């Protein structure tokens, strides 16, 4: 058991508790915010770090069409180098639905195929890279489902590399995890941000395909990620957008028309940006407390947070609760930067962040065993 796990004395920092409580701002009244006007049967909105803001049937399993290509792309990144050259198999070139007309024997790099698959939603490109990596579609689908399991996506089942199968299933919640994984990869993040992709054919014939994400150029802050459509899934869209320091991730599944999926995503993101703002959780410039350094002549050392921390928070969520936990005393010597406690910020019973509290100075004292105590001090913002 760490020395930071033991709990004993409380009176040693009683004065600090009074100072913190007196400095707390009064808790404002919490306004009730109307939900976004979304017609899709399944949808959700989160911050990019996964904080939920709103959802409807997020765990409902549905056909999700080409949004499953995000899972394909993640497997590709785990499997091969981007510069590796792929020879397009006939099985891939034979796909006549949502393709970029790749020819059998045509050569493209893995990165080029990823761009075709994620930007133009090319099914033949998705099939080509799958066969290149695993030899057969069946073996590649097994890799996709293994990756889904690894990511904790218990409601996701891939049946092909591109999403045309009627057996494909996922949820809005699982797709949000896939999108966050894509956006955490610098290469995939840069690809889904492309507004078009250039496909080079034999004999230097080229054609430009525009992104299937029609919010590019029409919505401030749009970043990606993936669209999808089949007659069974209807119109699906997973999208990321960033304004200032606030980055949101939205999912709309089962919209009735092409225009509705984009309009509903705009509504969802607008609602999120209107009601989600960056809040300073922990300041690195504020003295968070004082710890006694024991010795022949006891001294005191102040502590500060190891780093400043902010987060995008929903306006409707209740007050923040900050808990400072300090050693009641410590035997010297104390080294500047030594951890002497922690500060935790919670909201609605959910822990948002834990940051170490560090000594502000070097102090010399007796070299004896530490006598410590954790003391919780709470205040409400």
Check residue 158 and give its pLDDT: 97
Check residue 354 and give its pLDDT: 94
pLDDT of residue 367 exceeding 70: no
Which pairs with CB-CB distance under 8 Å and at least 24 residues apart come from 261-264?
Answer: 261/40, 261/227, 261/235, 261/236, 261/237, 262/214, 262/215, 262/237, 264/38, 264/39, 264/40, 264/43
pLDDT tens digit string along 56-106? 999 999 999 999 999 999 999 999 999 999 999 999 999 877 788 899 999
pLDDT tens digit string along 43-61? 999 999 998 999 999 999 9
pLDDT of residue 23 exceeding 50: no
pLDDT of residue 14 exceeding 70: no
pLDDT of residue 204 exceeding 50: yes
pTM of the model: 0.79
Catalytic residue among 42, 93, 108, 121: 121
Question: Percent of the chain, pLDDT > 90?
Answer: 70
Asked if residues 136 and 242 have their Cβ atoms less than 8 Å apart, the reply is: no
Check residue 19 and give its pLDDT: 31
Check residue 282 and give its pLDDT: 94
Check residue 117 and give its pLDDT: 96
pLDDT tens digit string along 307-363? 999 888 888 778 899 999 999 889 888 999 999 999 999 988 889 899 999 999 988
pLDDT of residue 3 exceeding 90: no
Q: What is each CA distance from 67 to 156, 158, 250, in whole angstroms?
A: 12, 11, 13
pLDDT of residue 240 exceeding 50: yes
Q: Which residue has the tokens 């947070």?
A: 305
Asked if residues 15 and 328 have their Cβ atoms less than 8 Å apart, the reply is: no
Residue closest to 287 by CA, chosen among 359, 208, 367: 359
Check residue 376 and give its pLDDT: 53
239 tagged catalytic = no
CATH architecture of the domain with range 42-255: 3-Layer(aba) Sandwich (3.40)
194 tagged catalytic = no
Catalytic residue among 42, 55, 66, 329: 66
Residue closest to 258 by CA, chosen among 323, 297, 212, 295: 212
Catalytic residue among 42, 55, 69, 233: 69
pLDDT of residue 378 exceeding 80: no
Phi, psi dihedrals of residue 8, rounded to the nearest 5°:
-140, -95
Could you tell me the pLDDT band of residue 364, with boundaries at 50, 70 and 90?
confident
Residue ranges of the domains in the chain? Answer: 3-28+280-380, 42-255
Distance of CA 323 to the CA centre of its chain: 26
Check residue 16 and give its pLDDT: 39
Q: How many CB atoms lie within 10 A of CB 119?
A: 26
In the sheet with 287-294, reading across from the earlier edge strand, the strands are 329-331, 287-294, 299-305, 350-359, 339-347, 320-327, 374-380
Bigger pLDDT: 12 vs 52 = 52
pLDDT of residue 113 exceeding 80: yes
Tell me the average pLDDT across 244-271.
Answer: 96
Could you tell me the pLDDT band of residue 368, with boundaries at 50, 70 and 90?
very low
* 241 Cβ contact partners less than 8 Å away, ≥ 6 residues apart: 219, 220, 221, 222, 223, 247, 248, 250, 269, 273
Phi, psi dihedrals of residue 303, rounded to the nearest 5°:
-130, 150
Mean pLDDT of the chain, nearest integer: 86
Tell me the average pLDDT across 184-193.
Answer: 98
Give CA–CA dist 139/122, Å, rounded: 20
pLDDT tens digit string along 121-178? 999 999 999 999 999 999 999 999 999 999 999 999 999 999 999 899 999 999 999 9
Beta bridge partners of 287: 304
69 tagged catalytic = yes
Residue closest to 174 by CA, chosen among 142, 145, 141: 145
State the DSSP string of 344-381.
Answer: EEEETTEEEEEEEEEESS-B----------EEEEEEE-
pLDDT of residue 205 exceeding 80: no
Check residue 25 and give its pLDDT: 38
């Amino acid at each position: 058991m760490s020395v930071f796990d033991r709990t004993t004395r409380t009176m040693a920092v009683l004065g600090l508790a009074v100072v913190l409580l007196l400095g707390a701002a009064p808790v404002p009244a919490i306004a009730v915010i109307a939900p976004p006007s979304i017609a899709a049967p399944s949808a959700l909105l989160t911050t990019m770090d996964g904080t939920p803001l709103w959802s409807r049937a997020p765990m409902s399993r549905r056909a999700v069409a080409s949004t499953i290509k995000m899972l394909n792309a993640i497997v590709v990144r785990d499997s091969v180098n981007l510069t590796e050259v792929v020879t397009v198999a006939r099985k891939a070139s034979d796909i006549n639905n949502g393709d970029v007309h790749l020819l059998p024997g045509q050569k493209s790099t893995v990165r080029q195929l990823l761009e075709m698959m994620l930007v133009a939603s090319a099914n033949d490109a998705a099939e080509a890279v799958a066969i290149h990596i695993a030899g057969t579609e069946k073996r590649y689908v097994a890799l996709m489902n293994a990756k889904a399991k690894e990511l904790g996506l218990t409601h996701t089942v891939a049946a092909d590399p591109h999403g045309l199968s009627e057996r494909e299933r996922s949820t809005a919640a699982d797709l949000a995890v896939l999108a966050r994984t894509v956006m955490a990869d610098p290469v995939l993040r840069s690809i889904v941000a492309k507004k078009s992709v250039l496909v080079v054919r034999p004999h230097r014939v080229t054609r430009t395909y525009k992104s299937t994400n029609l919010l590019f150029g029409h919505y401030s802050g749009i970043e990606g990620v993936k669209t999808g459509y089949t007659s069974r899934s209807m119109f699906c869209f997973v999208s990321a957008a960033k304004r200032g320091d606030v980055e949101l991730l939205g999912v709309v599944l089962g919209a009735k028309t092409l225009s509705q999926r984009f309009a509903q995503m705009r509504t969802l993101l607008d609602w999120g940006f209107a009601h989600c703002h960056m809040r300073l959780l922990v300041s690195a410039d504020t003295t968070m407390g004082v710890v006694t350094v024991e010795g022949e002549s006891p001294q005191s050392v102040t502590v500060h947070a190891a780093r400043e921390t902010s987060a995008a928070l929903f306006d409707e969520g209740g007050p923040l609760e900050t808990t400072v936990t300090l050693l009641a005393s410590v035997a010297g010597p104390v080294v500047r930067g030594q951890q002497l406690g922690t500060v935790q910020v919670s909201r609605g019973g959910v822990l948002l962040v834990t940051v170490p509290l560090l000594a502000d100075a070097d102090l010399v004292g007796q070299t004896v065993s530490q006598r410590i105590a954790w003391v919780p001090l709470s205040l409400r913002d």
